[in-house]
């Protein structure tokens, strides 16, 4: 009798497992989060607004630039902590705007991010009276992770809420690559993953994508093949513009001891690179 039940139950469980992976249904998101935790990927998002008050003057800046940030750990809160914005720079979460402060709402990690600096630079150089950042990145994500499952679902939800509030998105800033290093998930399928992500984004917005070139992370040195794949994506995929090449920021003083994330001085350099990419957009 028990054997008969096992012959029924085991194939049923196996079939449902395949369906979970292929169709991204329950409990796919939970299994993916467990996988990330098992390999040490920070997956804790900053989402507590209970002690925050929406920015009273955010509505005074309807002409502000609106950017959605996406990618892995260097797109979120993993840099050196301690930067305070000087200008009308905001973080947007669930469609509500708050004064920008690290660790920024919407991102994973508990430290500093590059975006407050970028916002200050854009305002001070006359690009806009204010800047709004919708942070949606995930620590440790591959380019394929970003285009599917609960990661993309969160990105999509936050983008659409921001789009409903502001009526537009001015750019999507993607800093990702370390996970697709040749010694991790590999660089050969990067372009395919980026094309899938781009196609899904185009179903929601025609906002330009500013794509960083990045592969370096500590013991995993610069992956020239991955940098080439990213460069080809920028040149070949319509609507993808050139972001910074953060693999150029390698000096010890510009990185934290893990040699993967950025010190305050390194975030200053990275912010300058992001700002120049936005002020002088290029497909080449």
How confident is the model over 238-259, as pLDDT tens digits?
999 999 999 999 999 999 999 9
For residue 41, name the pLDDT band (cuts at 50, 70, 90): very low
pTM for this structure?
Answer: 0.85
Q: What is the DSSP string of the chain?
A: -HHHHHHHHHHHHHHHHHHHHHHT-TTHHHHHHHHHHHTT----B----TT----TTGGG-TT-EEEEEEESGGGSB-B-S-----SSEEEEETTEEEE--SSPTTSBBSSB-SHHHHHHHHHHTTS-S-EEEEE---TT--HHHHTSHHHHHHHHHHHHHHHHHHS---EEEEE--GGGSTTTT-STTHHHHHHHHHHHHHTT--PPEEEEE---BTTB---HHHHHHHHHHHHHSTTEEEEEEGGG---GGGB-TTSSSB-HHHHHHHHHHHHHHHHS----
Q: What's the CA gap between 180 and 225, in Å, rounded? A: 10
Burial of 191 (0-12, 13-18, 19+ CB in 10 A): middle
State the average pLDDT for the chain.
Answer: 88
The pLDDT of residue 61 is 75
Greater confidence (215 vs 61) lies with 215
pLDDT-derived band at 38 (thresholds 50, 70, 90) equals very low
Residue-wise pLDDT for 174-231, tens only, equals 999 999 999 888 888 899 999 999 999 999 999 999 999 999 999 889 999 999 999 9
Instruction: Report the share of the chain in percent with pLDDT over 90.
Output: 77
- Please indicate whether residue 166 or residue 43 has the higher confidence score (pLDDT): 166
Higher pLDDT, 43 or 234: 234
- The predicted model gives 59-73 an average pLDDT of 91
Q: Has residue 12 got a pLDDT over 80?
A: no
- Does domain 58-279 bear CATH number 3.40.50.1970? no
pLDDT at position 183, please? 87
Segments of the chain assigned to CATH 3.40.50.1110: 58-279
pLDDT of 159 higher than 50: yes
């Amino acid at each position: 009798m028990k054997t008969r039940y096992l012959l029924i139950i085991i194939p049923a469980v196996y079939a449902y497992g395949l369906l979970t992976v292929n169709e991204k249904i329950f409990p796919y998101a939970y299994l993916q989060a467990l996988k990330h935790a098992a390999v040490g990927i920070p997956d804790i998002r900053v989402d507590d607004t209970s002690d925050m008050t929406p920015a009273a003057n955010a509505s005074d800046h309807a002409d502000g630039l609106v950017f959605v940030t996406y990618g892995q750990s260097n797109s979120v809160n993993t840099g050196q902590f301690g930067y305070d914005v000087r200008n009308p720079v905001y973080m947007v979460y669930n469609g509500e705007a708050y004064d920008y402060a690290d660790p920024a709402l919407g991102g994973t990690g508990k430290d500093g991010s590059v975006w407050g600096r970028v916002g200050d630079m854009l305002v001070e150089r006359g690009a806009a009276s204010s800047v709004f950042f919708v942070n949606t990145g995930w620590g440790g994500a591959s380019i394929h992770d970003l285009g599917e499952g609960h990661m993309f679902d969160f990105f999509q939800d936050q983008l659409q809420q921001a789009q409903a509030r502001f009526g537009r998105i001015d750019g999507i800033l993607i800093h990702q690559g370390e996970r697709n290093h040749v010694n991790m998930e590999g660089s050969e399928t990067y372009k395919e993953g980026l094309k899938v992500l781009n196609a899904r984004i185009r179903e929601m917005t025609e906002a330009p994508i500013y794509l960083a070139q990045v592969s370096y992370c500590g013991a995993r040195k610069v992956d020239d093949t991955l940098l080439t794949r990213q460069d080809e994506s920028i040149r070949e995929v319509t609507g993808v513009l050139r972001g910074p090449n953060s693999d150029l920021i390698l000096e010890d003083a510009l990185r934290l001891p893990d040699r993967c994330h950025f010190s305050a001085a390194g975030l200053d350099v990275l912010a300058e690179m992001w700002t120049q990419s936005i002020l002088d957009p290029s497909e080449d």
